[in-house]
């Protein structure tokens, strides 16, 4: 069975212990970082070493309704994507050389 991901409380506790600040202050930092990422995502928001949050335009395309099999046009729309940095990929998934 895979391990569960960290909860927000566990993340804040870890940040607080590593930086020597209170859990409340680390929570304020994380909340401000998230707010800034949301605000700046239109222009792309980079977290160095982790990745980039970008808005991307998806073109209209033809698809099928899975319930009926009927062909339909899926309209163009904007989507939010997170592009993982190479440093993060290399740290998590080391190459098999």
Residue 1: the pLDDT is 43
- pLDDT mean over 88-92: 92
> Is 23 a domain residue?
yes
Residue 52 belongs to domain spanning: 44-90
Indicate if 48 and 72 belong to the same structural domain: yes
Residue 2: the pLDDT is 59
CA-wise closest residue to 77 among 88, 90, 62, 61: 61
Asked if pLDDT for residue 37 goes beyond 80, the answer is yes
| Domain count of the fold of the chain | 2
Indicate if 83 and 70 belong to the same structural domain: yes
- 3-class SS letters over 48-93: CCCEEEEEEEECCEEEECCCCCCEEEECCEEEEEEEECHHHHHHHC
- pLDDT mean over 30-36: 95
Helix H or strand E encompassing 47: strand 45-47
- pLDDT mean over 20-28: 95
Residue 83: the pLDDT is 95
Average pLDDT along the chain: 92
How many whole angstroms separate alpha carbon 56 and alpha carbon 59? 10
């Amino acid at each position: 069975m895979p391990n569960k991901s960290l909860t927000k409380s566990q993340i804040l506790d870890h940040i607080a212990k590593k930086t020597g600040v209170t859990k409340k202050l680390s929570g304020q930092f994380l909340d401000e970082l998230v707010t800034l990422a949301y605000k700046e995502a239109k222009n792309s928001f980079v977290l160095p070493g982790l990745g980039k949050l970008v808005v991307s335009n998806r073109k209209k395309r033809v698809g099928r309704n899975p319930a009926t099999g009927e062909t339909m046009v899926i309209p163009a729309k904007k989507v939010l994507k997170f592009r993982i940095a190479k440093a993060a990929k290399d740290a998590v998934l080391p190459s098999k050389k």
